[in-house]
Amino acid sequence: DPHLRQCLHIVQTASTSFVPIGPGVKIAYRWLDLSDNVQIAPAASSKAPTAADAAGNASCRSRIPLVMQVDFRSGMDLWDPLFLAHLLTRRPVLIFDPCHCGRSISDRDTRPYMGSLYKWAKHLVAVTENLAFPEYDVFGLSMGGAAALLTALFPTPATSRVRKIIAGATTGPAITTRLYEECARSSMSIPWPRDDWNLMDASLYSYSDGNDSGEVRDTMRGVFFTNTRQGQEAMQAYWTRINAAAEVRAALPGESPSIRLLEDRRDLGPLRCQRLAWRSWESAPSNPSAYADPMASIDKPVLVLNGVNSALIPASRSWELVCRLPKASLVLYENASAGFAYQYPDRVARDINNFLDLDHTQLEAQSLPSAALP
C-alpha cells in the first residue's frame, strides 16, 4: 500500500521539536501529518511531506489531531510505528515524551508535572494549548489512558477542547463499596472486590533496568503480550519494528531515539513520582461518604479498549470503567494483553479511526449508577 508506506516514512522521519509548558520545561514532540499546509506553532522545523504525496487521500482525512499519551516509564519511541502509520492514514497525530522522559527537558521538580494522574492530564493539555490546538482527540495507554480520561476535565469540563477519548488498558480510580452497591442494583453489575493486576508483571515493569535493552525487551514481552505462540510472535514483530524505526531515526541530523524505559530512581525523581501517581489513583477515597466519581463528569464519547488477557489492567476493569462513564463503548481483543495495539496494529487503528470519524453529536448520556449517590 503506497499510502501506508508514505505514512510509515513520515512516522520514522518526522523531526523532533520542543514546546515549552512552564518555566524550565520543554516537551519533545513530533507532529505527524500528510499535508504541508497545516502549521502549528512552534513547529517550524518539522518537515511534512508535500501535498502531492497525499493526493487522493485528503478527502477522507480528518483535520482534528489525535494526541497520544504514553504509558508508565515510556517515551514516544516505544509507540509501534506501524500502529501510528495506520492512524496517520486518516488523521494527523501528535506524539510526545512526558516531562523528565526521553528527550523532554526540565530543570524543575518532577512532582508538579508527574506526581498525580491529574497532573499528567494538565501536562498534556498544556502541550495542546501551547501548540494552539482548537480541538483534539486523545488516546492513552494504561496509566496514560487514565490521564487521557482526565483531560476532559481541564481547564474545566465546559471549556475542555477534547472532543473524544480512547482509553486503552486502563481503569478508573478506586471506588467505594457504596458505588459498587449501586452498580449491583442496576443492570451494570461489576466484579467485587475489583480484579487486581498481575503483581509479578507489575513488579517486572516497575523494577527492570530501563537502560538494558535485553531487560526492556523482556519487560515488554512479559507485560504487554500473552505467553502464547501468537502473542510472542506479535512481540517479536513489534520489537523488530520499533528498533528498525530507531535505526532510521538515528541516521537523521539531531535525532537520538530512545528504546529505553524511564530509569531515574531518585527519592522524589520521575520514576518514583510516576509510581506515586498510580498508587494515589488506586487508593480508596479518604472520605467515602462524600465521594463523587470523577468519571461521571467526563461528558465525552469514550472508546475503552483492552486485551481479553491483559496482565496490566484486567478486562473486568474495562467493563467497570464503561459502567462509570456517561458515553462509553468497549472493545476487547482476543488472546491479547495490554499491547493489543501492537499485536493488532491495523485492526486497532481501524477501530480507533472509525470511532473518531463517527458522528456522536446525537449520543445521549447513559444513566449511571453513581447518579444514585448523594
Reference 270, options 73, 120, 22; nearest CA is 73
Residue with the bigger pLDDT between 374 and 373: it is 373
- The C-alpha cell 525523581 sits at 269
pLDDT of residue 51: 38
Q: Determine the Cα–Cα distance for residues 15 and 366; give it in Å rounded to an integer.
A: 43
pLDDT of residue 286: 74
| CA angle 70–108–97, rounded 5-degree value | 20
List pLDDT tens digits, range 272-315.
778 888 888 888 777 777 778 899 999 999 999 999 999 889 99
Highest mean pLDDT among 304-313, 328-337, 359-368: 328-337
Mean pLDDT value across the chain: 86
Whether residue 302 contacts residue 341, with contact meaning beta carbons closer than 8 Å, is answered with no
Contacts of 54 (CB under 8 A, 6+ apart): 6, 34, 35, 61
pLDDT of residue 204: 66
Give me the domains of the chain, ranges plus CATH numbers.
Answer: 2-359 (3.40.50.1820)
Q: 24-38, 93-107, 333-347, 357-371 — which is least confidently predicted? A: 24-38
pLDDT of residue 334: 98
* Percent of the chain whose predicted confidence (pLDDT) is above 90: 59
- Sign, CA dihedral 298-166-48-58, equals negative
Reference 100, options 70, 128, 79; nearest CA is 70
pLDDT of residue 102: 82
Residue with the bigger pLDDT between 52 and 245: it is 245
Residue 342 has pLDDT above 90, yes or no: yes
pLDDT of residue 341: 99
Residue 43 has pLDDT above 50, yes or no: no
pLDDT tier at 266, thresholds 50, 70, 90: low
List pLDDT tens digits, range 159-204.
999 999 999 999 999 887 777 777 777 777 777 767 776 655 666 6
List pLDDT tens digits, range 121-154.
998 999 999 999 999 999 999 999 999 999 999 9
List pLDDT tens digits, range 14-23.
999 999 998 8
Whether residue 220 contacts residue 142, with contact meaning beta carbons closer than 8 Å, is answered with no
pLDDT of residue 106: 75
pLDDT of residue 45: 40
The answer for 94, left when phi > 0, alpha when psi is -120 to 50, beta otherwise, is beta
Average pLDDT in the 4-29 region? 94
Q: What is the greatest pairwise CA distance in the chain?
A: 60
